[in-house]
Structure 1
Amino acid sequence: MVDKLDAALRFQQEALNLRARRQEVLSANIAHSDTPNYKARDFDFSSSLTQAMAQGRQSQSVSMATTSARHIQAESTIANDPDLLYRVPTQSSIDGNTVEMDVERVNFTDNAIHYESGLTIIGAQIKTMLSAVQQ
């Protein structure tokens, strides 16, 4: 049962995770708009979502090296992070910064709207599942 719920919500979950990650990248670009030689970063959302859906829940496992037998063995997983690309500016800056505030604001707002719509969709899916269980 849990597997079916996970499968039903997986696409939206992956999309929301990628939207949140893109929001972090775009906000870092905006924060560094006055930093000399800063290169604006972004990633292609659709190809990253396709890649995330194809990989599924596969994630890389990393174990920590221990130097003593008394150390606690620990293992962690690395989240699949999208490939960050450098944005090519339409108008270059003298100080080498490639952040264009108008482009960043548009992308930030567009991503925020898509994130909100994703939340609305996943909320509607949950309500539909709840109504199916209650009847």
Structure 2
Amino acid sequence: MPSWNAILGSHEQSIKIFGARSRILAANLANADTPNYKARDLDFKQMLNSYKNVATGNTPLITSNARHMQPTGFVYGGQLKYRQPQQASLDGNTVEGQIEKSEFLENAMRYQTSIQFISGKFKSLLSAIKGE
């Protein structure tokens, strides 16, 4: 019997990354008027590759104690990037509202696409179980 990972592919991890990215982009938008706030973002491709490596055990974490456990779920650490502004602002804030809104909408569409794909997979599985 195939595993859920084989059935869903990378869409499960994609949804988690899109969710994390939407929270970061929302924080950027919320801090558009905060002096010296630096806009941040995630590199989706890097995050997905990192998740796949951790999930398959290809990238063990360095531990200082033999009893430390390796992560089994979704983790992201140093992959937050600071966005370089196209125009410098006087207050040191690097949030550009139009770019943030555009990135947020694109991220939401990709999230919805992954949800629809997973929904279609489950509908197919349900049809197969019912014998339809």
TM-score normalised according to structure 1 size: 0.79
| Matched position secondary structure for 1:85 | strand
Give 1:4 shift.
Answer: 1.4
C-alpha contact 2:13 2:48 (8 A) present in aligned 1: yes
How large is the Cα RMSD of the aligned pairs?
Answer: 2.3
What is the alpha-carbon distance in structure 2 between the residues aligned to residue 11 and residue 50 of structure 1? 10
Counting only pairs closer than 5 Å after superposition, residues 37-48 of structure 1 correspond to structure 2 as 37-48=36-47
Greater mean deviation of Cα atoms: 21-30 or 77-86: 77-86
- Give the 4+ runs in structure 1 shifted more than 3 A: 57-60
Q: Which amino acid aligns with 1:80?
A: V
Q: What are the superposed Cα offsets for residues 32-57 of structure 1, whole Å, 9 maximum, x if unpaired?
A: 00000000000111121122122216
Question: In structure 2, what is the Cα distance between the partners aligned to 1:112 and 1:5?
Answer: 24
* Structure whose residues are more often strand by fraction: 1
Q: Tell me which amino acid in the other structure corresponds to 2:38.
A: K
Q: Which has the higher contact order (CA 8 A, sep 6+)?
A: 2
- The corresponding residue for 2:119 is 123
Secondary structure of the 1:117 match is helix
What's the CA shift string for 1:16-38, capped at 9, x where partnerless? 00000000000000000000000
Equivalent positions of 1:83-94 (< 5 A) are 83-94=79-90
Q: Does the C-alpha gap of structure 1 residues 32 and 57 become closer, same or farther in structure 2, counting only changes over 3 Å?
A: farther
Shift of 1:6: 3.9
Query: Equivalent residue for 2:65?
Result: none
Gap regions ≥5 residues in structure 1? 61-74
Aligned to 1:32: 31
The structure that has the greater radius of gyration is 1
**Structure 2 residue aligned with 1:97:** 93
Shift of 1:8: 1.6
**Percent identity among equivalent residues?**
35
Distance in 2 (CA, whole Å) between partners of 1:13 and 1:122 is: 8
Other structure's SS at 2:3 match: helix
Does residue 18 of structure 1 match 2:17?
Answer: yes
TM-score normalised by length of structure 2:
0.81
